[in-house]
């Protein structure tokens, strides 16, 4: 069975600094997607970034980028120039095509951006 592990329950960062959130996963499959979702205090789940496993290039979306290490089964999220609005719970998620479209989520990392 596939699993997703986020080993950092809580993190904090100063405004304008850079922070990296860790995620590891376990699968024997070769074709899959990985995602990072953000859940601010409003509790709306927002898709931050996606990475296809067959792509070697790391995905980037503005201040958000990932470090995808397929062999190590690692998928970390880097937030540059942190802003107060980045304060949220961040979830790593794994998607496998032959699982009926189900996402498997990690337990989340609560990020606080301090002024």
Which residues sit at the interface with another protein, rule CB under 8 A?
Answer: 32-33, 35, 37, 39, 42-47, 50, 89, 91, 95, 97, 100-103, 105-108
Minimum distance of another protein from residue 106's CB (angstroms): 8
**Nearest to another protein of 18, 44 (CB atom):** 44
Q: What is the 3-state secondary structure (H, E, C) of the chain?
A: CCEEECCCCEEEEECCCCEEECCEEECCCCCEEEEEEEECCCCCCEEEEEEECCCCCCCEECCEEEEEECCCCEEEEEECCCCHHHCEEEEEEEEEHHHCCCEEECCCEEEEEEC
**Nearest to another protein of 39, 80 (CB atom):** 39
Between CA 2 and CA 60 the distance in angstroms is 25
Minimum distance of another protein from residue 87's CB (angstroms): 13
Minimum distance of another protein from residue 53's CB (angstroms): 10
Structure token pair of residue 89? 């719970």
**Nearest to another protein of 68, 108 (CB atom):** 108
Minimum distance of another protein from residue 40's CB (angstroms): 11
**Nearest to another protein of 45, 78 (CB atom):** 45
């Amino acid at each position: 069975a596939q699993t997703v592990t986020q080993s950092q329950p809580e993190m904090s960062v100063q405004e304008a600094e850079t922070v990296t959130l860790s995620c590891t996963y376990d699968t024997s499959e070769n074709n899959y997607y990985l995602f990072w979702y953000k859940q601010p205090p409003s509790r709306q789940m927002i898709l931050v970034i996606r990475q296809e496993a067959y792509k070697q290039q790391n995905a980037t979306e503005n201040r958000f980028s990932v470090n995808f290490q397929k062999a190590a089964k690692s998928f970390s999220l880097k937030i540059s120039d942190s802003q107060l609005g980045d304060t949220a719970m961040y979830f790593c998620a794994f998607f496998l095509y032959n699982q009926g479209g189900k996402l498997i989520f990690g337990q989340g990392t609560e990020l606080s951006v301090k002024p």
